[in-house]
Amino acid sequence: MKILSPSRHILSGAMLVTAMAFFVPAVLNLNSQAVAASVAGLPDFTDIVEKTGPAVVNIRTTEKIKLDSDSGATGDDAEMQEFFRRFFGAPPGALGKQTPPRSRKPGDKDKQQEEVPRGVGSGFIISADGYIMTNAHVIDGASEVYVKLTDKREFKAKVVGSDSRSDVALLKIEGTNLPRLTMGDSDKIRAGEWVLAIGSPFDLENTVTSGIISAKARDTGDYLPLIQTDVAVNPGNSGGPLINMRGEVIGINSQIYSRSGGFMGISFAVPIDEAMRVVEQLKTSGKVTRGRIGVQIGEVTKEVAESLGLPKAQGAQVARVEADGPAAKAGILAGDIILKFNGTPIEKANDLPRLVGSIKPGSRGTVTVWRKGVSRDFTLTVTELASDKEEAADSKDGAGKPEQVANALGLIVSDLSAAKKKELDISSGVMVDGVEGSAARAGLLAGDVIQRLDNTDIKDAKQFNSLVAKLDANKMVAVLVRRGESSQFVPLRPTK
């Protein structure tokens, strides 16, 4: 900032008055114009809130617990259980009282069970006859679910169905001509678009917050790419609608990212298109059925793609094929790169379970894979996904006689015995007996099995070491490594 000398910039009293008389109104006029322009550029949510607010409901849940003369449960306990379960990091006592403890009578100690407050959340009406959408975690474990409208009417709700993988639940109350929300198109949303949330944070009913869409599709789960926003969302907002400037629902507010337990500017919503697909199944059968093909997958890195001759890093790398599963029966192998499913490109690994999950079990599907420099199509029959538990295995075996010197990849390998090949159900490969240099830095361990070098199957230690000796030290190579029951390409750079 430039500082002016007082001796050269002194005005007489008359001059000062004249200057002020001219200058002040001009400043005020400019400021008022700037404020008017600023206000005119901001979104006005008032009409949207007035239109959509009546269809947003408060959800209160209770559960039946066993009580004795020395025990009881309060609304605080229930709220904190909800909080810790869905929004991590809040220290005990971070939330104030939200639901008063239920009073007890002298004879209550003889009762086996008592219905106590469990938690609060939000939801919204999607049909005039009383269907309500909310999050699965809002009603999970509840004995009873109560819904309160903005006109203070309260209903006991029936849980039609719930799906934990998508975190979507469908409720039903008995009513007619109820206010309802219009569903939007979450596929057409854009980052930077204004949105608002209405819900009951900390049981403060019909609270309105606003912000923008920060990202369209965050991979926070296997089956749903969530909408990221900076809309203030807190415990109790769960299950409430995320609404666009046309007054349409584009998502269900579901999660926040927090290190402190409070809102930190990042919240997530289930896309309404995905949620409606779940709701249709819940309405029809009370559950959601998803397909599976029996593979464990991982991302394809740029280095692996270049080593295998792929034009770009895309697809899902098959790390493990479930024995007797659809993929195994079709001929898909560990190390294959799945590029398409039923003709739809797989850009990233998480695309595959979403596409397969949307297929009805029993349906035929076509899987396009990249194997040894060429693409191949395999036809399989999709089966039903029975549970959300992932199978995992990590076995260790140090058998094998090591060579004396590590090769250019930093690997000391030996031939696999016939018994070991039978145990692993493979026809070729070599056992890793020692690691150093590039292999050690990449995380390879003794006991790993090398199955392929780029697009060449490894038959024995002699062949493997011969191939490694001919590698270009300026280029990365992809080594297919099996550990336990999983296989993964690991990019390595040979030493000179």
Domain boundaries of the chain, sorted by first residue? 51-92+110-172, 182-285, 291-384, 411-492
Whole-angstrom Cα distance, residue 254 to residue 260?
Answer: 18
Nearest to 52 by CA among 284, 204, 184, 247: 247
CB 459 within 8 A of CB 404: no
CATH code that applies to domain 291-384: 2.30.42.10
Residue showing tokens 């590698």: 471
Taken in order 65, 71, 74, 77, the sign of the CA dihedral is negative
Output the pLDDT for position 16: 35
Question: Could you read off the pLDDT tens digit of each residue along the chain, which spans 496 residues?
Answer: 322 333 333 334 443 333 334 344 444 454 555 445 445 678 899 999 999 999 999 999 998 875 544 444 444 444 444 444 444 333 333 333 334 444 455 455 455 667 788 889 999 999 999 999 999 999 998 999 999 999 999 999 999 999 988 999 999 999 999 999 999 999 999 999 999 999 999 889 999 999 999 999 887 655 778 999 999 998 899 999 999 999 999 999 998 887 666 678 899 999 999 999 999 999 999 999 999 999 989 889 999 999 999 989 999 999 889 888 999 999 999 999 999 999 999 998 888 988 998 888 999 999 999 999 999 999 999 999 874 433 333 333 333 333 357 898 989 999 988 878 888 888 889 999 888 888 888 888 888 999 999 999 999 998 999 899 889 888 889 999 998 888 889 899 888 6
Which of the residues 162, 166, 238, 254 is marked catalytic?
A: 238
Catalytic-role residue among 76, 122, 137, 186 = 137
Q: What angle do CA 192, 39, 181 make, to 5 degrees?
A: 55
Sequence-separated (6 or more) residues with CB below 8 Å from residue 31: none
DSSP character at residue 404: S
| CA-CA-CA-CA dihedral for 224, 227, 233, 237, to nearest 10 | -50
145: nearest Cα among 239, 242, 54: 239
Strands (E), 130-246: 131-134, 144-148, 154-163, 168-172, 182-183, 194-199, 207-219, 225-229, 241-243
Q: Is 137 annotated as a binding residue?
A: yes
Look at the chain and count its residues. Answer: 496
- Distance of alpha carbon 400 from alpha carbon 185, whole angstroms: 58
Q: To which H or E segment does residue 492 belong?
A: strand 486-492
465 is in an annotated binding site: no
What does the alpha-carbon distance between residue 227 and residue 193 come to, in Å, rounded to a whole number? 12
Distance CA 244, CA 186 (A): 10
Instruction: Give yes or no for a contact between 283 and 131, defined as CB atoms under 8 angstroms apart.
Output: yes
Residue 25 has a CB neighbour count (10 Å cut-off) of 10
**Over the stretch 30-89, which tens digit does the pLDDT of each residue have?**
455 544 544 567 889 999 999 999 999 999 999 887 554 444 444 444 444 444 444 433
Distance CA 486, CA 335 (A): 10
CA distances from 301 to 180, 311, 444, 478 (A): 46, 12, 17, 10
The pLDDT value recorded for residue 434 is 86
In terms of Cα–Cα distance, which of 168, 182, 173 is closest to 55? 182
Cβ neighbours around 382 below 10 Å, total: 22
Asked if 431 and 400 count as a contact pair (C-beta separation under 8 A), the reply is yes
Catalytic pick among 76, 140, 163, 167: 167
Identity of the amino acid at 426: I
3-state secondary structure 360-392: CCCCEEEEEEEECCEEEEEEEECEECCCCCCCC
Query: How far is it, in rounded angstroms, from Cα 288 to Cα 388?
Result: 12
The pLDDT value recorded for residue 101 is: 45
CB 86 within 8 A of CB 235: yes
- C-alpha–C-alpha distance, residues 59 and 169, integer Å: 12
> What ranges make up the beta strands (E) of 11-73?
56-65
Q: Residue 208's beta-bridge partner residues?
A: 198
Is 258 annotated to bind ligand? Answer: no
* d(C-alpha 76, C-alpha 97), whole Å: 6
Structure tokens at 324: 């007797």
Given a contact cutoff of 8 angstroms between Cβ atoms, the answer to whether 380 and 430 are in contact is no
- DSSP symbols for 62-131: EEEE---TT----HHHHHHHHHHHHSTTPPTT-S---SPPPP--GGGGG-S-EEEEEEEEEEEE-STT-E
Architecture of domain 182-285: Beta Barrel (2.40)
- The architecture that CATH gives domain 51-92+110-172 is Beta Barrel (2.40)
Domain 411-492 has CATH 2.30.42.10: yes
Identical fold at 51-92+110-172 and 182-285? yes
Annotation says 137 is catalytic:
yes
